[in-house]
A and B are shown apart, each in its own frame.
Chain A
Amino acid sequence: MATKTSVPFNGTAAQEAKLREIIKAHQDDPGALMPVLQQAQEVYGYLPIEVQKIISDEMNIPLEKIYGVVTFYAQFSLYPKGKYNISVCLGTACYVKGSGDIYDKLQEILGIGDGECTADGKFSLEACRCIGACGLAPVLTVNEDVYGRLTTDKVKEVLAKYE
């Protein structure tokens, strides 16, 4: 089984400039840390320690506090995601309609567990909370695309679209 890949950090100068811009735009804003982290994650795709250090220095917030906030919220990721991030909804409405089986099936096919990324960096898998598309339960998303009314048999069809 693959493990959480620790890909070396390779942020670009352009990304760093963008990050500094974001921090500057929020400098007079009380409670700016969350919006800054959210936008930083949009820039880098995840929040490695190198990015947290820049934020810590620029905003004058201790690194340990930033790390505490990053690890508290499910939305923030310390690891890069796959090219295609698959989220299986395990909300109640999806769960009672069998999304647990779909999640198991994906783990079996991809050979990875929750929050992990395939070795080729192509797919990452996570369980998510209700995305509110309960009318289509059970539901999963691949990046921005939503697939509903799924069965375990349809899982392979969905993956095939991203081959």
Chain B
Amino acid sequence: MNNNKPKILTANEASMIVESSVIKRRKKDARLKTYGRIAIGLAVSFLIFLFVSIFSKGIPGFFQYYVTLDVYLDRDRLDPKGDLSPESLYNGDARSIVLESLYKVINPKGRKEKKAAKKIISTNADVRISKMVLDDPNILGKTIPITFAVDDDIDSFLRGYIKRETPSSERRINDTVIKFVDKLSAENKISYKFSDYILTGSASRSPEIAGIKGAFIGSLLTLAVCFIIAFPLGVATAVYLEEFAPKNRITEIIEVNINNLAAVPSVVFGILGLAIFIGVFGMPRSIPLLGGMVLALMTLPTIIISSRAAIRAVPPSIKDAAYGIGASKLQTIFHHVLPLAMPGMLTGTIIGMAQALGETAPLLMIGMVAFIVDIPGGVTDPGTVLPVQIFMWADFAERMFIQKTSSAIIVLLVFLIFMNAAAVILRKKLERRW
């Protein structure tokens, strides 16, 4: 108790204290920086892990094994009616023609060996011949080399997923089949090349001929419908709420509800779609039009919220100037506010659509989580979407579907990257600074 007076520091002492605390503060700064780096490092490494695992599995999925055979295209057997119609070709016997040319190379003896040989070529070989004949009827009666996809089990064997060392009883393919495959490779009939089914084929239960075209077109159609409905509605709502709506209880309630809707689980919109669009309006199930309408309901809140933010970001001075020279409210909005808010609104819309592109849950209720072979020709043909295709492929037992699943994921990712890139470019192009 002898010295109650605050100590008077000399300038030197003060700077010492400050200096020592500076070191501490800098250390804290450095620590924060390291935490940030660790967080980013972790995020990046997860991303890299994801990409490496998807690409290492998915890239091989874009390729597959083929066998090339010299096929004699017998007119009478391929086209029994002789009118080259799809019906006549369907009734023709392309399958046995393919098998005959296969037998010529591998010479199976007896019924059992022939049965084994049948397993080598994809069951879809006859469709390929029918298509070639439809494209060019002049090939009938000639002998030409045609490449066919090999069956999925043979493909897995050639990739080394089914091992030769495994006892025959535990393999999907028996020793006779392996003998034939070896013979075909010895004669250089087997090739490994870019799959002509994965991008242009439709859904199929034979993995070697399954492709994503149907789902891709279904996704495009669904998104188109979603955009046509959600964008105008969303923008109109945003304009009304920002420019016209009186600030009262009712608009407040509407606002709160729109914000809440953005957080509603997507499957709820599917149930809504089932009850209203199918139940009340009697729309057919499984069509992209219906899917687009349900997804539009889902993306509306996102579009409204981002559009309102974009409209609010337009400087009031511009509006005031427009009013100042005698523009009407409509003129002000359409000539000045909307063009300036457009980049922000489009960005929000594209992000909302990208979200819709990845959805399966709302589509489950309205019958779009389905196996659909025919490629949709319009919004009222049954169709499915990319994520559903991925989901279904992931569940099929055939092993080749594992690679196909990853390939489809790559296509979906590229689609998403394109959409997001479009959002960035649009924003950069249209953006104006003040």
> Are A and B interaction partners?
no
